Structure 1
Amino acid sequence: MFPLRVPLLAVMVSMALCQYYDYDYQPGSMLGPSGPNCNQECDCPVNFPSAMYCDSRKLRFVPIVPTGIKYLYLQNNLIEEIKAGVFDNVTDTLRWLVLDQNQITNAKVAKGTIDKLTSLEKLFFSNNNLTEPIIPPSKALDELKMMNNKLSKFPSGLLSDKENLTYINIQHNELTSESISGAFKGPKKLVSLDVSHNKLKKLPVGIPGTLEILYADYNEIDGVGAGYLSKLPVLQSLRISHNKLVDGGLPAGVFNVTSLVELDLSFNKLQSIPEINEQLENLYLQANEINKFDLGSFCKFIGPINFSRLKHLRLDANNITHNSMPHDSSNCLRQASNIMFE
């Protein structure tokens, strides 16, 4: 058993449907008897000796981790603190640390614990009581998840040396636009960033141009800056649903970029359909205040090779019906197999 990397599409599905436990996990009880060097509160299967399973055991502390452990599962416990010394045997070997679903606060994480893990690749710290990110010194870190905490700030510089960091998920926190200013400038390979369910008034800035997925649903965003997407040349999926977007906050052509495949602007206050690029395939505009169907939003010119590649379009819960579509819509939207008005 060894963690496998998955393609972008699988990652997007995983993020949407399995937000909390999408790491490679198989219960220790299914992997055979435990080895002799394991901590007594946990299981270290003999046929997977580099993993220690301490999950769902009502633990109130992190047990001492023996030499040789690379994957440590501590989710679904009652852990409130991490005492000094528990990781001393694995400071340069531990690769995965899973602490989801506990009761850990910043004040109860002793110095010399996580801040000594120099080889950590994945840190899962969701559903705890953190008010500020706890970041290991490891330059190998490639995945960071701190969902459902109480994060109110993400100081600039915490990720300055995390050049291999690929995925960040900090949804369901209390972050503002000011509190994350400059937070994501360090990672040079960032692919996916999820800042949904926070208190942002604008999309995060200073993101590396490698980003392919940006989720900012359920915030207080009322606009998108001109040229914002031009700084993200490979962005494929952008979700800004359940915000406060209005027509005046969207400069002309702000979403007209060739890289986008999916754009979700549903549950906002838009009164018109924003201009999109012909390459966009999925557009979600349901539950806005749209009152007209402007074909120019989809096609500037219509011809043998000039038409929209849009496949799915949602316009339900707006102020228009199917009768609002111009008679020549089929020439522009010739690949649209699903257009919803109700």
Structure 2
Amino acid sequence: MRTGLLLAALWLLLLFTMTDAQKLRKPDGGIRRMKRRRDGHGQAGVRLGRVKALRSRQAPRGPGVSVQSDLLVLGSYRDAPEMHSSYNVLPGKTGQCAYQGMTMFDQAVWSPGPCVTCLCTGGRVVCDRQACPITPCRLPLAPAAAGECCPVCPDSDPDLSLEFSGDSPAPRNRDDDRHHSVITTPTLTREEIQRIVWLEEEERMEEEERLKKKEEARRRKKEEKQRKIAEEEKRRRREEEEERRKKQEEEERRKKQEEEERRKKQEEELRRRKMEEEKRRKEENEAWEREKKLREEILREEEEEEVWLRGDVFQMLPKEEEPVEPDLFPAPIPRPPAVTEDDEVKVEEEDKEEVEKGGLPPGCELSDVTLTCDNAKLTYFPPLFMPQLKSLSLEGNDISGIPAEAFNGIPNLEWINLKKNKLTSASVDQKAFRSLKMLKRLYLDGNLLEVVPANLPASLQELKINENRLQRIHGNSLQGLASLVILELEGNLLSEANVDPEAFTPLGHLCYLRLGRNHFRSIPQGLPASLLELYLENNLIEEIPAGVFNGSQNLNVLSLRHNRLEETRIAPLAWIHHRNLESMDLSYNRLYLVPSYLPKSLVHLVLVGNRIERIPGFVLAHLEPGLEYLYLSYNKLDGEAIEPESFFGAYHSMLELCLDHNQLQAVPSGINEMTNLHFLRLNDNRIRSVPEEGICDPERTGDSTLVAVRLENNLIDPLKLSPSAFSCVRSSSSVVLKPQKRK
């Protein structure tokens, strides 16, 4: 009978399942996916607590049954170990399930065996087996009866058996059974299984959501930490960069400040030197003006006297024309007045139109075979077609370049003057002068040239490139100029370091070389053997080594004015054996004595503006035929500076002797023995008297040669002079005694 009842209940359950299938679907038409959570042993199952919670809502309460919260607890089984139900999941098709050869529709529920309930959901079969509690019995357990799920305790009491089997709705109350209450556990229904599955799915989804949030929080925390680290690193780098930039700016500011201070010091030093030089010039100019006035007065008194001409080749310059100490840079180049770009374009177009019509450029004059365009404000080289032209002067213009075809229309030029223009080495074409086969003189002074122009014609005899910016003379810069006689390179940036020793070798006929106002510290090497005159004024020369002039035995004139020479830095064999060196200018150096070992052939010796304190004895004795002109003005000669033998060897050759502007206290001895002396200057000293035999020898017979004697600006009392003191002077008016200094 129990079996029939169970089958009837199962059939009704299937009917209810098909009726309520739509109630179990989600709003979007899909069936909610259900998963089971695995228990501690790794199998999917429903916790017994949930089963008890569900059972607690349906199970009748009887004796011995207690309800705590939502769990159903049997008093007699409180200490018994708990049994877990489990689900066996079988694979199936999507939407339908295959079970033991049968096809079950989705949401179908059936019971394949006692105490087992299965569900088809989403193509899977979910079965639940009821777990039997461990029942303590006084006797061994009897197997489950037909239709029952769990074994029962064999007992003689039929009421107890009935109570355990669940046939009676309520157990009987008996005093001896109050500790052994029994309740039956019905089989789970489909709704209960679905509800359990949904609860498990919700818990799983909540757990996944919680884990996802936790993982997201952990990820955000990690990203925030990394962001903070990156920001900290970026801030640190920015601070380091800012600190490095500040240090660099501070260093640059410090360097600029030091450079500014150094520049100010240099400007102050230059200003001080300029002021001192201006003061010195002013004093010299005043002295020279006074001397000039006195000289004019003497000349007026000697209108009928014969004019005597000095014979020195240097032609001593007035003091106001004396050059100053050498600077480190050449003198500035004068520039013509600035004009605007529009004016230049307009003038250039007008000039070109005028020349193209066959006329001359504005400001030019043509005289026979000479064309002069000096200071005509030309900004370009004028295109000319005058084959007969011999001389062309373009001095003082703004010409900045010479094209290759500039001289095609004037090929017979012999002299070109391009002084004071704006020519640069880059703007002068290398083929510009090649066609001038008859060119003899080329003047390029006062331009901006850095090197000697290339391809100069071989016919050239005179080349002047003074006051430019020459920085280098290569070995081939003067190649092909074998006919060159005069070369002037003054006022440039040349030194022994940038002038090739072989630069002057091609100049086989060079006689006249000027290298003044450069930066030479020693005599240039490789001077040609044909050289006759060498001018090295205003350089930085400190030493004359031996053998430096051995290759220039024909040298006749040497000028070393305004250098840094000392007598101890002149080698004994530097020039003593030269037989042709007759004129030497060593003015404005650092000499303390008249140099020894002077060239044997020396005739003219200029030592003006040194620091000479003494003339050693016999210093002129080796000169042949003898010194004729000796200029010792503006030195420091005093009362003990001149010995009786100082002029030995020059008594019969001396023609001019200048000892003015010193500190002499008496007329030097030996002057009265000079038989050919023409001109004597002793002015601006401290001489107090003139002995009767100090200048003229009374025992000398024959015509006197002395023409002029200067003794002004001393401490002489003219009233105390002997009438015969100047008896050898040709004219008494040639003796200058006024004015004199006060004692």
TM-score of the superposed pair, with normalisation by structure 1: 0.84
Match of 2:480 among 89, 92, 100: 89
Are 1:59 and 2:449 counterparts?
A: yes
Give unpaired runs (5+ residues) of structure 2.
1-308, 324-369, 373-389, 393-406, 417-427
Aligned residue in 2 for 1:16: 317
Match of 1:236 among 628, 634, 653: 628
Matches within 5 A, 1:97-108: 97-108=487-498
Aligned residue in 1 for 2:590: 199
Are 1:251 and 2:643 counterparts?
A: yes
Aligned residue in 1 for 2:547: 157
Match of 1:289 among 686, 703, 710: 686
Bigger mean CA offset, 100-109 vs 259-268: 100-109
Match of 2:391 among 21, 32, 43: 32
Match of 2:659 among 265, 285, 290: 265
Alignment length (residue pairs): 326
**Alpha carbons of 1:16 and 1:150: their partners in 2 closer, same or farther (altered >3 Å)?**
same
**Alpha carbons of 1:110 and 1:290: their partners in 2 closer, same or farther (altered >3 Å)?**
same
Matches within 5 A, 1:165-180: 165-180=555-570
Give 1:248 deviation, angstroms: 1.8
**Contact 2:471-2:494 within 8 A present in 1 as well:** yes
Can you list the C-alpha shifts for 1:294-334, whole angstroms capped at 9, x where unaligned?
121222324653x7532211111211132232133353434
Letter in 2 for 1:97: L
Give 1:188 deviation, angstroms: 1.5
**Alpha carbons of 1:324 and 1:62: their partners in 2 closer, same or farther (altered >3 Å)?**
farther
Q: Which structure would you say has the larger Rg? A: 2
Aligned mates of 2:600, 2:442 — CA distance in 1: 37
Aligned mates of 1:107, 1:174 — CA distance in 2: 18
Are 1:78 and 2:469 counterparts?
A: yes
Structure with more helix by fraction: 2
**Alpha carbons of 1:29 and 1:237: their partners in 2 closer, same or farther (altered >3 Å)?**
farther
**Alpha carbons of 1:65 and 1:313: their partners in 2 closer, same or farther (altered >3 Å)?**
farther
Aligned mates of 2:498, 2:371 — CA distance in 1: 30
Letter in 2 for 1:322: P
Please provide the CA RMSD for this pair: 3.1
Are 1:222 and 2:613 counterparts?
A: yes
Partner-residue secondary structure (3-state), 2:317: helix
Aligned mates of 1:40, 1:186 — CA distance in 2: 47
**Alpha carbons of 1:142 and 1:44: their partners in 2 closer, same or farther (altered >3 Å)?**
farther
Give 1:262 deviation, angstroms: 0.6
Aligned mates of 2:643, 2:581 — CA distance in 1: 26
Aligned residue in 2 for 1:210: 601
Give 1:112 deviation, angstroms: 3.2
Give 1:266 deviation, angstroms: 0.9
Give 1:141 deviation, angstroms: 0.8
Bigger mean CA offset, 315-324 vs 141-150: 315-324
Aligned mates of 1:181, 1:220 — CA distance in 2: 20
**Alpha carbons of 1:231 and 1:186: their partners in 2 closer, same or farther (altered >3 Å)?**
closer
Are 1:301 and 2:691 counterparts?
A: no
Letter in 2 for 1:268: N
Partner-residue secondary structure (3-state), 2:640: helix
Partner-residue secondary structure (3-state), 1:178: helix
Are 1:50 and 2:479 counterparts?
A: no
Partner-residue secondary structure (3-state), 1:144: strand
Give unpaired runs (5+ residues) of structure 1.
1-6, 21-27
Bigger mean CA offset, 190-199 vs 238-247: 238-247
Which of the pair has the greater relative contact order for Cα pairs under 8 Å at 6+ separation? Answer: 1
Can you list the C-alpha shifts for 1:9-57, whole angstroms capped at 9, x where unaligned?
37343x536889xxxxxxx976524566996488799696133332222
